[in-house]
Amino acid sequence: MKFSDFGKRFHGYSGITHLMDDLAEGLAQPGVIMLGGGNPATIPEVEMVFDRVLGELHDAGGLMETLANYDAPQGKGAFLETLAGFFQEQYGWNITSKNIALTHGSQSAFFILFNSFAGKSGNATRRVLIPLVPEYIGYCDVGIEADILTSQQARIAHRDDGFFKYQVDFENLQVDDSIGLICVSRPTNPSGNVLTDDECSQLDQIARTHDVPLLIDSAYGTPFPNIIFDPVTPFWNDNCIVCMSLSKLGLPGARTGIVIANEDVISYFSNMTAITSLAPAGIGAAIVNQLIIERELLPLCDDLIRPFYKARAELAVALLRASIDDPRLHIHKPQGAMFLWLWFEGLGVTSTELYQRLKRRGLLVVPGKYFFPGQDVDTNRHAESCLRMNYVQSEQELAKGVEILARELRNCW
């Protein structure tokens, strides 16, 4: 078979494929402690709510109606109307349903958006600027052309509470006409960092000055799933593209992402959906539409989902501090999402080697180097001294995982 350049580009083994393979391998092996993936936790009270709503939809005929019909390329009309009203009410955002489109998960939205604003443009090549790395592994390989990403490594601020926090290094951030899109996740996967309101405003200013959109990936953000522990102001204006998702609410199988942008971008986006996949999935939209109408969505997030993850984050930090009493362990302040980001200063092996050793002992995590899109990780000491672990597993699993990590570190420092 002869692949085209496009085909060849996606033929290789990417970071995200590696992660998904490990997730599958981890899930398939009994006894392995899976602190590697990004699957949301099983929270029985939350699943009961989804079960109930599915039952109600079934009884009222809405489930069959959703499954038996294509929605419009922009997504289920009733849900778009409900969402527009919801954002107006919650945040006073001046939007209508024409500012919202649904996608097959937000990951597929990044593929469309990155390649729509970056890549070959006439004689020039435009790039996606990631103003703070470490950043989400899922951005690394979505460019149809290679090398469409450029990024700036974060500044490190050590805090009085014993954590460290990444900050955008505005002094060294290089923005010129070759930039086509600026992209951040807030909260950030992998570090649990949450960009401050001031950082968002500055990035917004930079984006406007250069006439490029600012993409804010809010997969873990407000108002849903609201896995964010310190209050910050949600950010949107007509130069922003905010991507949300139903996955971290607990519905990753529904494959539903939500894009909020100006009408031009949304109409373009709907065209792309029609061409690439006809219409987005409708089942997640039907469930969450009902939850919003019945005013159940926010209590679900605020009273069940956020407290669950906050408690798990605190537990994981306590376990790490108790087992690894070493000043060379630095933990990023967990401000949201579902991961702890650990920096082992002066680690004697690479993060990939540490990962392999932990895997042999039955613990799966993700090596730090995958989270530095747009950087040369082979020469990046910081990237090779970090790893990401999730805190979605049970207390017992977390405790076992941390014990394995503590034991192996004794051989690596």
Ligand X SMILES: Cc1ncc(COP(=O)(O)O)c(C=O)c1O
199-228 residues in contact with ligand X (CB under 6 A) are 217, 219
Alpha carbon distance 330, 319 (integer Å):
14
Question: Under the criterion CB under 6 A, does residue 105 sit at the interface with ligand X?
Answer: yes
b/e sequence 101-129, b meaning 16+ C-beta within 10 Å: bbbbbbbbbbbbbbbebbbeeeeeebbbb
35/329 with CB nearer ligand X: 35
Distance of CA 259 to the CA centre of its chain: 14
Question: Under the criterion CB under 6 A, does residue 189 sit at the interface with ligand X?
Answer: yes
The distance of closest approach from Cβ of residue 412 to ligand X in the complex, given in angstroms and rounded to an integer, is 27
Q: Which residues pair with residue 244 across a beta bridge?
A: 258
Residue from 97, 107, 290, 393 in contact with ligand X (CB under 6 A) = 107
Residue 330's H or E segment, with its range, is strand 329-331
Return the range that interacts with ligand X (CB under 6 A); candidates 103-111, 118-126, 226-234, 273-281.
103-111
The distance of closest approach from Cβ of residue 253 to ligand X in the complex, given in angstroms and rounded to an integer, is 9
Q: Which residues pair with residue 242 across a beta bridge?
A: 216, 260
117/350 with CB nearer ligand X: 117
Cβ atoms of residues 134 and 332 within 8 Å: no
Q: Burial of 24 by CB count in 10 Å (0-12 exposed, 13-18 middle, 19+ buried)?
A: exposed
Return the range that interacts with ligand X (CB under 6 A); candidates 4-12, 67-75, 102-110, 167-175.
102-110
Q: Which residues pair with residue 153 across a beta bridge?
A: 133
Question: Under the criterion CB under 6 A, does residue 114 sit at the interface with ligand X?
Answer: no
Cβ atoms of residues 293 and 82 within 8 Å: yes
189/385 with CB nearer ligand X: 189
The distance of closest approach from Cβ of residue 244 to ligand X in the complex, given in angstroms and rounded to an integer, is 8
Task: Give the x/- contact pattern for ligand X in 304-343, rule: CB under 6 A.
Answer: ----------------------------------------
Question: Under the criterion CB under 6 A, does residue 390 sit at the interface with ligand X?
Answer: no
- How many chain residues touch ligand X (CB under 6 A)? 14
Q: Which residue is nearest to ligand X (CB)?
A: 105
The distance of closest approach from Cβ of residue 213 to ligand X in the complex, given in angstroms and rounded to an integer, is 17
The distance of closest approach from Cβ of residue 348 to ligand X in the complex, given in angstroms and rounded to an integer, is 30
Residue from 66, 150, 191, 247 in contact with ligand X (CB under 6 A) = 247
Whole-angstrom Cα Rg for the chain: 21
213/257 with CB nearer ligand X: 257
99/247 with CB nearer ligand X: 247
Alpha carbon distance 96, 82 (integer Å):
10
Residue 339's H or E segment, with its range, is strand 339-344
260: how many CB neighbours lie within 10 A of its CB?
Answer: 22
Question: Under the criterion CB under 6 A, does residue 75 sit at the interface with ligand X?
Answer: no
254/266 with CB nearer ligand X: 254
Q: At what angle do helices 306-323 and 395-412 cross, to 10 degrees?
A: 40
Sheet of 366-367, strands arranged across: 329-331, 339-344, 386-390, 366-367
216/404 with CB nearer ligand X: 216
Question: Under the criterion CB under 6 A, does residue 370 sit at the interface with ligand X?
Answer: no
221/324 with CB nearer ligand X: 221
Question: Under the criterion CB under 6 A, does residue 185 sit at the interface with ligand X?
Answer: yes
Question: Under the criterion CB under 6 A, does residue 38 sit at the interface with ligand X?
Answer: yes
274-303 residues in contact with ligand X (CB under 6 A) are none
Q: What is the dihedral of CA 40, 43, 48, 51, to 10 degrees?
A: 20
User: In terms of Cα–Cα distance, which of 211, 214, 218, 262 is closest to 243?
Assistant: 218
Question: Under the criterion CB under 6 A, does residue 14 sit at the interface with ligand X?
Answer: no
Residue from 145, 252, 330, 403 in contact with ligand X (CB under 6 A) = 252
Question: Under the criterion CB under 6 A, does residue 245 sit at the interface with ligand X?
Answer: yes
Alpha carbon distance 299, 244 (integer Å):
18
131-170 residues in contact with ligand X (CB under 6 A) are 136, 138
The distance of closest approach from Cβ of residue 205 to ligand X in the complex, given in angstroms and rounded to an integer, is 23
φ, ψ at 273 (rounded to 5°)? -65, -45
Return the range that interacts with ligand X (CB under 6 A); candidates 48-56, 245-253, 261-269, 403-411.
245-253
Cβ atoms of residues 128 and 183 within 8 Å: yes
Q: Which spans of this chain sit near ligand X (rule: CB under 6 A)?
A: 38, 105-107, 136, 138, 185, 189, 217, 219, 245, 247, 252, 257
